[in-house]
Amino acid sequence: MRSIISLAAVAGLSLTSTIVSAAPVAKRDYGSVFPLTDGFPNPSASQLQDIENRAFGTLSNAPPPGTISTDGLTNLKLIALNELFEVAFFTELVANLTNKVPGYDLGYGHDFVLQSLEAVVAQEELHTLNANGALKHFNAAPILPCKYNFPVTKFQDAITLASTFTDVVLGTLQDVIQIFAKNGDDGLARGVASVIGQEGEQEGFYHVLQNKRPSTLPFLTTGVRDFAFTAIQSFVVPGSCPNINTIPLKTFQPLNVLGTPSAASTSIQFSFSASHAGTSDWSKLSLVYINQQNLPVVEALQSVSVSGDVVTFTANFPYAQFEMNGLTIAAVTNGAGPFATADAVAQAAVFGPGLIEI
Ligand SMILES: *[C@@H]1O[C@H](CO)[C@@H](O)[C@H](O)[C@H]1NC(C)=O
């Protein structure tokens, strides 16, 4: 086993390479990475065995329950959509590391990081096959992969992105388990809980690679399915998802977080599109933060300015009062609540999710 210090050295090395690498080039469209050479997302029996070998474990051989609620089916569809996106991302990241493309040659520690991420790819493949397999079992169509576009050209930025979307997943799977529980789908809750832990192990690794504490918070930030559904689509080539329309979740208009908020920030600047606001009376809108398991924090829009279709504003950021570490999900809502739950925020949201990591 390598020590944390040597992993931190990996992070340091790639930070150095960040400085010397060229300015980001325009993103090319990768097209579809699927099907993978191992047959995913439709591996044969022997290909599945190979995936399990590389994942260091197997799909569960226990049958899923006999019935599922409609909302439970939506859970499985969202999980499949998300896991397909993760497989695409980590497959591309592993390819970049394997080929040592500029920005992805880590020097010392390279092989350890590469081998760890190769296991992640296979493990995410099994997460997808688990969800899509359950959908088939319940006579629902499996979710098909999209084409993706990831806004990163350097290892360190790729890990920052992985860490952020894994945090979103860690919050969303809390919502998934609660919805299973509410609808009598208790037979599916345990398997999802096992995946939360698995993604949490990954998150700890991504933190170390960023020179951060492995464990973020005592209680991780919660999420709502609609926010994850919207966030995933921001990495998708528009119109490239064959059956995303079978997932009955809400897609919000984008909320942009401007600048890089930190523990020292007392306010944060955001922007959104005026024509999608449904009002031009900005006092009717609020900025809401979701962090940890706390009640959502509601703030007024301040210093609002409109330029063409872009509305820019600031909102107070009560970092110190609530120790708002880790992931914070921001949304612009109609009305000022108060909101009892993250779900109530999503019900009233117009723009979101703005993803903030401290
Ligand atoms: C892989 O590298 C290419 C070329 O720099 C880049 O466009 C792409 O976003 C990278 N993907 C990941 C996941 O790092």
Q: Which atom of ligand 1 is nearest to the CA of 89?
A: 13
CA of residue 287 to ligand 1 center, whole Å: 33
List b or e across 278-291, with b for residues whose CB sees 16 or more CB atoms inside 10 angstroms.
eeeebeebbbbbbb
Residues with CB under 6 A from ligand 1: 27, 89, 92-93, 96, 101, 150, 152-153, 158
Taking CA atoms, 68 is separated from 13, 130, 184, 243, in Å, by: 49, 15, 8, 20
- Single pTM value for the model: 0.93
Same domain assignment for residues 316 and 201: no
CA–CA dist 327, 190 (Å, integer) = 24
Q: Which helix (H) or strand (E) holds 71?
A: helix 70-98
* Angle between the N-to-C axes of helices 110-137 and 70-98, in degrees from 0 to 180, rounded to the nearest 10: 150
Question: Ligand 1: which residue has its CA nearest to atom 12?
Answer: 93
* Percentage helix, strand, coil for the chain under 3-state DSSP, each rounded to 5: 45, 15, 40
Taking CA atoms, 90 is separated from 53, 84, 197, 293, 313, in Å, by: 17, 10, 18, 29, 35
Same domain assignment for residues 206 and 274: no
Neighbours of 189 (CB within 10 A): 16
Hey, which residues does 306 pair with through a beta bridge? 311
Answer yes or no: is 251 within a domain.
no
Share of the chain above pLDDT 70, in %: 91
**3-state DSSP assignment of residue 139:** coil
Choose between 11 and 91: higher pLDDT.
Answer: 91
Same domain assignment for residues 184 and 108: yes
Residue where a domain terminates, one of 214, 246, 278? 246
How does strand 310-316 pair with strand 302-307?
Answer: antiparallel
Mean pLDDT for the chain overall? 93
CA of residue 94 to ligand 1 center, whole Å: 10
Mutation test of ligand 1: which of 150, 209, 235 has the most ligand atoms closer than 8 Å to its C-beta?
150
**3-state DSSP assignment of residue 237:** coil
Same domain assignment for residues 18 and 136: yes
Residue where a domain terminates, one of 246, 266, 283? 246
Amino acid at residue number 219: F
Question: Ligand 1: which residue has its CA nearest to atom 14?
Answer: 93
Neighbours of 351 (CB within 10 A): 24
Q: Are 69 and 183 in contact (CB under 8 A)?
A: yes
Residue where a domain terminates, one of 218, 246, 274? 246
Same domain assignment for residues 237 and 260: no
For 168-196, what is the mean pLDDT?
98
Name residue, tokens 């299973």.
180
CA of residue 148 to ligand 1 center, whole Å: 11
Name residue, tokens 């806004």.
151
Same domain assignment for residues 318 and 349: yes
For 138-149, what is the mean pLDDT?
97
CATH number at residue 282: 2.60.40
Output the pLDDT for position 16.
Answer: 37
Same domain assignment for residues 263 and 171: no
Q: Domain count for the chain, please give it.
A: 2
Amino acid at residue number 9: A
Same domain assignment for residues 171 and 86: yes
Above 60 in pLDDT, residue 114? yes
Above 60 in pLDDT, residue 156? yes
* Token couple for 228: 């994850």
Same domain assignment for residues 86 and 154: yes
Output the pLDDT for position 32.
Answer: 80
The phi, psi pair for 267, rounded to 5°, reads -145, 160
Give me the domain span that covers residue 303: 256-357
